[in-house]
Amino acid sequence: MQNPFVFGRPVWPDEPFCDREKEIKDWAARMENGEPVVIMSPRRYGKTSIMRRVEASFAQKRYAHIWIDLMKCASIKDFIRVLHLETEKNYSLAKKFFEKGKRSVRSANRLRPGATFSPADGGAMSLSLAISDGLRDWPTLLEDALNRLLALDKTFDRIAVFFDEFQDVRRISKSLDDELALERVMRSVLQYRSAKVSLAFMGSMRHLLQNIFLDEAAPFYRSSSLLELGPLPLEPYEEFINGHFGFKDAEDRLIPWVIWKFFDAHPHAVIKTASFLWSRAHRKHFKSNEVRIDAVADCIADVLTGEIEFYLERNRRLSPQAILFLREVAHHHGSLVSPYGKEVQKATGLSVKEIQNLLPGLQENGHIRVRQIFPQEGKASRLEIAFGDPLEKVVYALSYRTEPEVQVIVRQTVEHLWREKKEDHG
């Protein structure tokens, strides 16, 4: 039997997926109503996979699918080019598929990336020439690109437009004299969209997204509803795992809880661990509890080792001070009150000034969330620091350990969780 747990890429609508029914229904209803949505979550929470299901649930089967990943754009020119490519892809799909009446565009859209379009299909070649035409300025080119996109409404019943990692709009407009100019042009064209156009802005950096959509001075101020995608809920995850593995035995049925708890419900990590377990354990029939715990601990340790590498690579440019600070937050189970306190200074060797300098950058880049809390009336407020991404927390609690040490800690933690859960049941 094929491994039902997909990881490392979005899960397509025809593949097994765990829950998220509420989100799919809610986001689809909003998008079909023409209400722009902003979806915020840490990386690899399932945003893309959910959105694919949202589209598949649209009542209008002839929909255009426009996906722009701003993380991949190095400049405004790149952004305009991708807008054109995505738009022309839809014009040419429409021509190929439903004008000739062969297939619905919906089934065309369900083709997976890579199989859909070559730039030569559409008008993209001439358009990219136009982009290199230095006589025209970027705002005009961007307006043209967006208007061409909006005009898809003459061909399709619905246009679903996704701006992924949208906070990067700020990165690509850094070089402009007016950093908000790009957003301003976008807003000014997009506000004249027809009711057929559904907009979704997605991203992993909550703080920046809030600046874009909640700051009065920003062009997109209050233009969209901000929605947060949380981690994977326990019950559906238990059902998903127990169902696919066919776990009936009481000990077996503790497995999903242990994995879920270990990774703090991080969707990618808990699904990847299930996938490893599937490959390794041939689904079920553990000889003893010892073997079972071994198998689970090994899979968790394997996933964790990979994730430590992934995050350290991604965070290569963090300063040693930042890493020491994140590690300290991780040791406090991922949330820390009074980050300038004596205890933190002692543990990290950082001064109050150094910690103060670190916080804005760490917050902006989504590593931490900062919240003001008011413990008691009349008393001074305090800051609470928490990890934005629970998997990053697990990683920083262990990143300085050697691989054998990680294995031992994982094994001990898994045994501990197992015992805790059993006592709970007892």
Ligand X SMILES: Nc1ncnc2c1ncn2[C@@H]1O[C@H](COP(=O)(O)OP(=O)(O)OP(=O)(O)O)[C@@H](O)[C@H]1O
Q: Return residues touching Mg ion (CB under 5 A).
A: 47-48
* Residue number with CB closer to ligand X (39 or 180): 39
User: Which residues, 6+ apart, have CB-to-CB distance to 48 below 8 Å?
Assistant: 10, 164
How remote is the C-alpha of 183 from its chain's centroid?
A: 22
Residue nearest to Mg ion (CB): 48
Residue nearest to ligand X (CB): 46
Candidate segments 4-12, 140-148, 151-159, 176-184, binder of ligand X by CB under 6 A: 4-12
Residue 268 within binding range of ligand X, rule CB under 6 A: yes
12 DSSP assignment: P
Residue 265 within binding range of ligand X, rule CB under 6 A: no
User: Which residues, 6+ apart, have CB-to-CB distance to 109 below 8 Å?
Assistant: 55, 63, 64, 65, 93
Q: Which does 46 bind (CB under 5 to 8 A by kind): Mg ion, ligand X, none?
A: ligand X
Residue 388 within binding range of ligand X, rule CB under 6 A: no
Residue 17 within binding range of ligand X, rule CB under 6 A: yes
Cα 346 from Cα 333, distance rounded (Å)? 18
Pick one of 27, 30, 37, 43: the residue that binds ligand X (CB under 6 A).
43
380 DSSP assignment: P
Per-residue binding letters, 97-136, with ligand X (x by CB under 6 A)? ----------------------------------------
User: Which residues, 6+ apart, have CB-to-CB distance to 255 below 8 Å?
Assistant: 241, 245, 247, 277, 292, 296
Output the smallest distance, CB 23 to ligand X, in A.
9
Residue 363 within binding range of ligand X, rule CB under 6 A: no
Candidate segments 15-23, 242-250, 304-312, 348-356, binder of ligand X by CB under 6 A: 15-23
Residue 44 within binding range of ligand X, rule CB under 6 A: yes
Beta pairing partners, 368: 387
Q: Which does 207 bind (CB under 5 to 8 A by kind): Mg ion, ligand X, none?
A: none
Residue 7 within binding range of ligand X, rule CB under 6 A: yes
How are strands ordered across the β-sheet holding 225-228?
Answer: 63-69, 158-164, 197-203, 37-40, 225-228
Cα 182 from Cα 190, distance rounded (Å)? 12
Residue 48 within binding range of ligand X, rule CB under 6 A: yes
Distances 289 to 108, 127, 154, 244, 255 between C-alpha atoms, Å:
48, 63, 62, 20, 11
Contact 386, 369 (CB under 8 A): yes
Output the smallest distance, CB 353 to ligand X, in A.
34
Q: Summarize as ranges the residues that interact with ligand X (CB under 6 A).
A: 6-11, 17-20, 41, 43-49, 204, 267-268, 271-272
